[in-house]
Structure 1
């Protein structure tokens, strides 16, 4: 199967607000690309609420936070990917990605991860890329380990439970 041609489409405050409410029609009308029911579903609303609040308090973070994994060939939204925010004072960014179950095992997570890593490598303020993964998410761990991520610790997340923390240098070009 050929590698999908994806880009991460950034969203705006109004799109985040609509998705946080589960308003697919409003989010699609306000957004740059057509969205899917998965993106406005109940499992994604917590993410969108956090991003809506984040962008409302720091509009500049919209260029960094979660966007849509857009398949350029199929003209289709297949998941979410982005950073949790701009680089922190130590130059660390944390990434996150999720692929709609209907489109998993087609290379979209890998393509999104590569896109996020490529951007981090070009950003002079980014020195470290972090990802946190549930201990039972072996697919995500296998993917991250192929890109030099190593375990540096663990944390408890109130929404996701125990997470293992992995980091890799940003490898500036």
Structure 2
């Protein structure tokens, strides 16, 4: 399978606020891309509610948080991806990604992960990229395969339960 070409478009506080208000036309204008209903589902709203205060507290953090995954050259938004925040004191960033069901199994998650790793590697303050994945999430475990991640432990997440931690140097 050929890896699709994508670009990541960071979402501003204004875009997040519009999405939380179910105002997709305003969110689209703010983002400069045509966002989809995926950004209005329960999981995305939870994520937006969590990330919006981060962006409001530090507008520069938007480049680290939620990005639309845009397929190129057609410009179709196929999901969202980003980091849990800017690099921590140890130079670690944690990645996350969601591909809309209708675009799954086409390589978009792998393309988004590759773009996130590349972006992190370009930052001198980043030394490690982490992924936390449920042991039952076969799709995400397959997505990180081949990217040099090594299992680094496990954690309990209040939202997601048991997660395996994978890390790779940049």
Provide the C-alpha distance between the structure 2 equivalents of 1:17 and 1:161, rounded to a whole number of angstroms: 28
Provide the C-alpha distance between the structure 2 equivalents of 1:51 and 1:32, rounded to a whole number of angstroms: 19
How far apart are residue 103 of structure 1 and its match? 0.3
Stretches of 4+ moved more than 3 A in 1? Answer: none
Q: Normalized against structure 2, the TM-score is what?
A: 0.95
2:6 touches 2:72 (CA, 8 Å); kept in 1? Answer: yes
User: What residue in structure 1 maps to residue 115 of structure 2?
Assistant: 115
How far apart are residue 96 of structure 1 and its match? 0.5
How far apart are residue 78 of structure 1 and its match? 0.3
Q: Kindly tell me the number of residue pairs found equivalent between the two proteins.
A: 170
How far apart are residue 95 of structure 1 and its match? 0.5
* Secondary structure of the structure 1 residue equivalent to 2:2: coil
User: What residue in structure 1 maps to residue 56 of structure 2?
Assistant: 56
Q: Normalized against structure 1, the TM-score is what?
A: 0.93
Provide the C-alpha distance between the structure 1 equivalents of 2:32 and 2:140, rounded to a whole number of angstroms: 28
User: What residue in structure 2 maps to residue 76 of structure 1?
Assistant: 76
1:14-68: per-residue Cα shift (whole Å, max 9, x none)?
1111223333223113222111111222221001111111101111101111100
User: What residue in structure 2 maps to residue 95 of structure 1?
Assistant: 95
User: What residue in structure 1 maps to residue 18 of structure 2?
Assistant: 18
Provide the C-alpha distance between the structure 2 equivalents of 1:154 and 1:19, rounded to a whole number of angstroms: 33
Report whether the alignment pairs 1:151 with 2:151.
yes
